[in-house]
Structure 1
Amino acid sequence: MKKNFLFISCEEAKHICDKSQYGEATGWERIKLTIRLTWCRVTKAYSKKNSKLSDVIEHAEVDCLKKDERNKLKKQFEEELEKHQ
């Protein structure tokens, strides 16, 4: 059976969607993805959720612990652990 060059599987569409989010998809892959998105609800939902997740991560304001804060917390944890052993 000859593989259709225009219609792609849902799994392949998801992979192309991921590549497209990072600007790694070729023009031809984007065309095939667009065709798939016109009729596949599953791929359309995946693409929408993927875009939303990328936006949330991009605009997240994450404050990480500094190295000295992390060491202090680790030390406190180990002290409490020692008390219960």
Structure 2
Amino acid sequence: MFKFLGITCEQANEICNKAQYNEANFTEKLKLNWHLLVCKVCTLYSKQNNTLTKVYKIKANECRKQKFCLNNKEKELLKEEMKKTSLQ
């Protein structure tokens, strides 16, 4: 009856990744949730993926709050390196 919901683990992982960034459509989310009901390995993958995303967002917010500035000497050194790289 629900054969149209059947997807492979590889497809489930792809949809899981898309869902993390709100790129999965309703049908894909439905298929993923159905797959997660029966596949414990993909359920674990999904949980780990969610955890990594949360940790990344927290770290990204912390980094945005900090200001990283180069002093003039560091800026000049960076310009020199960029010139050397572009000439090669």
Q: CA deviation at 1:66?
A: 2.4
The reply on whether 1:67 has 2:66 as its aligned counterpart is: no
Cα distance change, pair 5–64 in 1 and its aligned pair in 2 (3 A): farther
> Could you say which residue in structure 2 is the equivalent of 1:25?
24
Return the letter of the residue paired with 1:21. Answer: Q
Shift of 1:64: 6.8
Are 1:35 and 2:34 matched, yes or no? yes
Partner Cα distance (2:11, 2:71) in 1: 45
> Is 1:44 aligned to residue 43 of structure 2?
yes
User: Could you list the runs of 5+ residues in structure 2 that have no partner in the other structure?
Assistant: 79-88
- Give the secondary-structure state (helix, strand or coil) at the position aligned to 1:5: helix
- Residue correspondence of structure 1 range 7-22 to structure 2 within 5 A: 7-22=6-21
Quick one: distance in 1 between partners of 2:54 and 2:67? Answer: 20
Unaligned runs of 5+ in 1: 76-85
Partner of 2:83: none
- The answer for the alignment partner of 2:5 in structure 1 is 6
Q: Structure 1, residues 14-55: CA drift from partner, whole Å, max 9, x if none?
A: 000000010000000000000000010110011000000010
Q: Give the TM-score normalised by structure 2.
A: 0.69
Q: Closer, same or farther in 2 for the Cα pair 1:65/1:45, shift >3 Å?
A: same
The count of aligned residue pairs is 71
Sequence identity of aligned pairs in percent? Answer: 39
- The structure with the largest helix share of the pair is 2
Letter in 2 for 1:6: L
